[in-house]
Structure formats: structure tokens, C-alpha cells
Amino acid sequence: MDRDEVDRALARLGEEHEAIETSLLALQDHAGRRLLEGAELTGVTKDRWASTEQAITLLWGYFDAYAAALTAARELRARRRWPNKDDLVELTDRLRGPSVTIASSAAHPSPSITGPAKLSERFTLEALVSRMNQLYARSLDMVVAADSVWSALPARIDLLAAELQRTRSLAHSVGVRPGEHPAGDDLESITHELSALRAQVVSDPLAFWTPAPVSSAPGGGRPDTDRYDRAARALEDVRREIEAVLAVRQDSEDRLIRLRDLLSRADRTLAEARVARGEVLAKIAASEVPAVSGPPTALQERLAMAAEYRRHARWHRLSPLLESLERDAEDELMRARESLTAVTAPLAVRAELRGRLDAYKAKVARHGMAEDPLLIERYDAARRMLWSAPCDLRAAEQAVLRYQQAAADVLVPRQAGPRDRTGRQGES
């Protein structure tokens, strides 16, 4: 190396010295490193921190050796303004050759399992900088990862724990307690999970760190929040259930009134169906009439239980009971209406036959055929069947069909007659 090359190399190495010193001091003052030093660590973090502490100690040892070698080179260069050949040879050896000797205890703090340990190891200044950069990147990666987890998760867990406490108080006010309601058991489980989660995050943050798949920068990755997210979702589900119970407390009286009205309408409809069944059995013959069930006593008992729950403010028990009662009461009213429809079906058939008979009679009268003897005979026969009790619907329907056929036979020739006459006149 000539003098200019030596000066440029010393300037570059001096800049690297300042940059490395700044980085090491920043690592020394990093909040994550201070927290790691003072924490009771466990698991992965404990093992990684033990290794990282050794790496940081080794870094400072390397840095001191690097600084000493740089100082010695600077002193050699400062002896003469114009260094002679021997000076340049020595400076070249110091700046480019393996001039830095590191004791084996510093270079390899852990016992080697690959063979006998070396007493010392020699580095060039460039190789030493490369080794320091590697150690620094690994150390900073570990510190940044732990600090990122501590910055992200404990505060969020504390906020969720505060929300959990508010939800527990609200649940207690509506009678949702562990052992008495599933939501109370869920709250207890979430409480234990958050306590365990926070303790583990504090003692072993790296267990909650997901490194980035490809990252060259230290600290590449993100905190693993899966357990926290599951607890948050579980608490949200419980909170919605508690809100539903609160809603029951606010509108339970109106819902009970509506339930009583539904069951009362179902009872009245069934009573009407029973009366209609008796009427059908008396008025209609040769027809199968379905039986009508009695009033829904089981629903009335459950309704009385719901009212009892409301009186004693047992909202957590009232909520699911009201929901099932509302479904069953609607089903009961629909069943009662279907029963009434099924029972009164023969009467509807008779009414339809009566209407059809009278409609055909009016049609015949409009065409001046009301006095036709066959039509009068068949009409009277059908009418006697439809207006007698009990009415044989099958026979009555056949009588109405015979009257319809007779009316059609009479009306069709009469309606076609004028056309025939018109046709004959046309031909003549």
C-alpha cells in the first residue's frame, strides 16, 4: 500500500469504528435489552437470552480488539509524514493482514465439541468487522423480537382483562355465574386463560414471535396473537349473550304478554275446532273427521315458570326459556289453525256444493228452463241431500253432478238452436 491508500484505509476503518461503537451503545441502551436483563425469563427466551448475552459480551471484546488495532495503526502512521518502505509494509500488514489476535476464551466462550479448542484466533480487520456485524445482527434480532412482543401483547391483554372485569360485573348483575350458566363458566375460563397468557408473555416473549419467512433486517416478523385473539372472540361471544340477557330483562313483560295472547288464541282456536267437530259429526255423514287435541298444558306450565323466573330476576334462565316458548307457541297456534281447517273441511265442501247447485239453477232460470221437469226433479233431489242432516257428501256430490249434466244437456241444444236456424235461413 502507498501512503494515500493507507490514509484512505485508516479513514474508512475509523468510520466503521464510529458506526460500530454507535450501534453497540444503542444496543446497550435498548429498552428491550434492559427488560431482558431484569426479567425472570423462561423457555425459549431464557435460552436465547443466555446465548445473546454471551454474544454481546463477545461483541465488546471484539470491538476493544478492533479499536486497539486501529489505534496502533494510527500511531504507526503518525510517526512520519512521509512513511518509509518499512512503515508501509508494516501498515499494510496491520490493515490488510491477520493482525488482530483474539484469545480463545473470548472467541469461543462455550466449550467446543468439534475438537480441541484453539488458544487464540487471528483476524484481519475486515474479517473482524464481518464477525461483529453477524453477532450484532443476531443479538439485535433477539432483542427487537422480545421488545416487539412486550410492546404489543401485555398492554392489549390488560385492556382485554379490564373489559373482562366489566363483563363479569354485568354478568353478575343479571345472575350469570359460574356453575349456573354456561356464559359464567366461559368467563371463568377466559379469566384463567388471560392470566396464564400474560404471565407467559412476560416470561417467554419469544414463544409468541413469528419470524418473517424472508427477512434480512433484524427483528423481521410479528407477534403471534392467536391465543389473545381467541380469548377476545370468546369474550365478545359472552358479551353478546349477556346483552341478550339484559334485553330480556328490559322487554320480558311485553314478551310474556305476547306469549299469553298467542296461547290464548291457540286455546280459542282449538275450542272452536272442537265445537266445529261436533257440528260436522251431526251434520255430515260418511266422512272421517280428525280428532281435536286438548289445550297445551305443558306450554302453560312453562309460561308459569317463565313468569316465576321474572319475579325472582333469574334473567339468565328466563332468556332461553322465552326463546323456546315463543317458537313453540307459534307452532301451537299454527297447529290449532290447521286442526280447525281439517275439521271444518266437510262443511266447506258442503257449502261449495250448495253454491254450485244454486249457481246452475240461476243459470237455467236465465235461459227460461226453470220449469223443465227433469231439472226440477234432479234439483230437488240434490237440495234434499245438501240441506238434510246428516248429509252424505258423496251422494250429494253425485246428485249435484247429475243436475249439472242435465242442465248442460238442456242448455247446449237451446243455445245452439238459433245458430242452426240462422244457418238454415242462410241456405234458403
pLDDT digits (tens, 9 = 90+) for 70-92: 888 888 777 778 877 877 887 77
Beta strands in 261-346 (DSSP E): 284-285
Structure-model confidence comparison of residues 315 and 202, the more confident one = 202
Is 90 exceeded by the pLDDT of residue 158?
A: yes
Cβ(284)–Cβ(350) under 8 Å?
yes
Mean pLDDT estimate for the chain:
82
Joined grid coordinates for residue 168: 363479569
Residue of 158, 293, 165 whose CA lies nearest to 238: 165
Radius of gyration (Cα) for the chain, nearest Å? 50
Query: CA 412 to CA 171: how far, in whole Å?
Result: 81
Question: Which residues sit opposite 209 in a β-bridge?
Answer: 223
pLDDT digits (tens, 9 = 90+) for 167-220: 988 888 777 778 777 888 899 999 999 999 999 999 999 999 988 876 666 778
pLDDT digits (tens, 9 = 90+) for 243-302: 877 777 778 888 888 899 998 999 999 888 888 888 888 778 756 777 777 777 888 888
Q: How confident is the model at residue 108 (pLDDT cuts 50, 70, 90)?
A: low
Query: Cβ contacts of residue 241 below 8 Å, gap of 6+?
Result: 183
Query: CA 204 to CA 226: how far, in whole Å?
Result: 16
Query: Cβ contacts of residue 114 below 8 Å, gap of 6+?
Result: none
Residue 120 has φ and ψ, to the nearest 5°, of -155, 170
Cβ(204)–Cβ(36) under 8 Å?
no
Residue 350 confidence (pLDDT): 84
Tell me the pTM: 0.56
% helix / strand / coil in the chain, to the nearest 5? 80, 5, 20
Mean pLDDT value across residues 2-28: 86
